[in-house]
Amino acid sequence: MSNTPQGSPSLQPAPAPAPTLAPVLSIPYFLRDECTFDYEFDHHREKDIHHIVPKLKGESNWSMWEHRLYMALSENNKAYVKILQTDDTRPSCPNYESVSDELVREVALMKMGGNAQYVTDIIIQEVANERRTKNSWLRAAWQKEMEKWDQCNVHVCNLIYSTLDPIPASHVRRIENAREAYKILYAEYGTPSWYTTFERFEVLRNLQYKGNNAQGFVRKFKEALEIYQHGSKLDANTTLNFFIHAIRKNPRCQVFIQKVEPDLKNTNFMVDVYREFILAEETTRTFSGTNPTH
């Protein structure tokens, strides 16, 4: 006989508790790359560019101005060159999470494993709060990126403007985007006439190595070559011809000219020619005991 009193209800297992959302201890939010801008201003690294960059007067010195400007900006901060060379560097607005009732309910249902009976008002509110929290984080993080971009853009605008003569400056006086200012100046002065190209050729052709500062001369030769090319690129053989022409009247270079044997299969053989030339000149100067002069 059972010890259970007759008529007493049988024991039923307690219902399983409804699942809840696990607390988020660390929020793994992040901005997409296109929503960020890599820039940090360091006044200790900032150098005055005005002793490097000449004042832009017009088409006549555009290439020199452009070359020196990029060189000076790159030395100060790579972000300055990026904002000048690249379209659409401004951080894109992030994709915010929708907090509409319909979508929040769908997300809550998914989080509850598709079991509609567990999608309570509390669960819905928790999901909505999670999405609002993420949106707040995205908005604050993006705002910081925008502040970095604004700071960089304004700084580059000011640097460009400070290197312009009055007439070039008048073309970009009201432009607040560094990239747009550069494009306006390029459209006005960056497409040289045939005579301007000829003048640049004359500068390169008449360049002569008369002193004994090989490093300084190579730097000067490269700059003249860059200005003459203006975005295009001479082949290595033509570059070698210009270089030999520039040093051939220096008696000390005759031995180097006779011994130079570039690897013609290597399209970058001028790197080796420059290095061997500097080494040969430094060796000669060491034995002669002379000081470097241009």
State the SS3 of the chain. CCCCCCCCCCCCCCCCCCCCCCCCCCCCCCCCHHHCCCCCCCCCCCCCCCCCCCCECCHHHHHHHHHHHHHHHHHHCHHHHHHHHCCCCCCCCCCCCCCCHHHHHHHHHHHCCCCHHHCCHHHHHHHHHHHHHHHHHHHHHHHHHHHHHHHHHHHHHHHHHHCECHHHHHHCCCCCCHHHHHHHHHHHHCCCCHHHHHHHHHHHHCCCCCCCCHHHHHHHHHHHHHHHHCCCCCCHHHHHHHHHHHHCCCHHHHHHHHHCCCCCCCCCHHHHHHHHHHHHHHHHHHHHCCCCCC
Do the Cβ atoms of 243 and 253 come closer than 8 Å? no
Q: Which residue has the higher pLDDT, 117 or 292?
A: 117
Work out the percent of the chain whose per-residue pLDDT is above 90.
48
Residue 93: closest CA among 40, 37, 38, 132: 37
CA–centroid distance for 288 within its chain: 45
Q: Is residue 1's pLDDT more than 50?
A: no
Cα distance between residue 192 and residue 62, in whole Å: 9
Q: Is residue 18's pLDDT more than 70?
A: no
Q: Which residue has the higher pLDDT, 211 or 69?
A: 69
Domain ranges within the chain, ordered by starting residue: 43-190, 194-287
Bridge partners (DSSP) of residue 56 are: 164
As a whole number, mean pLDDT of residues 258-281 equals: 90
Cα distance between residue 179 and residue 88, in whole Å: 9
Residue 286, pLDDT score:
72
Dump pLDDT digits (tens) for 270-287.
Answer: 999 999 999 999 888 776
Dump pLDDT digits (tens) for 133-169.
Answer: 999 999 999 999 999 999 999 999 999 999 999 999 9
Question: What's the mean per-residue pLDDT of the chain?
Answer: 85
Which tokens is 60 given?
A: 């006549």
Q: What is the model's pTM? A: 0.63
Q: Is residue 82's pLDDT more than 60?
A: yes
Q: Is residue 179's pLDDT more than 80?
A: yes
Q: Is residue 108's pLDDT more than 70?
A: yes
Cα distance between residue 107 and residue 125, in whole Å: 11
Residue 2, pLDDT score:
47
CB within 8 Å of 160: residues ≥ 6 apart? 69, 84, 172, 178, 181, 182, 185
Residue 11 pLDDT level (bands cut at 50, 70, 90): low
Write the CA distances from 140 to 33, 37, 217, integer angstroms. 16, 14, 51
Residue 288, pLDDT score:
63
Residue 19 pLDDT level (bands cut at 50, 70, 90): low
Work out the percent of the chain whose per-residue pLDDT is above 70.
86
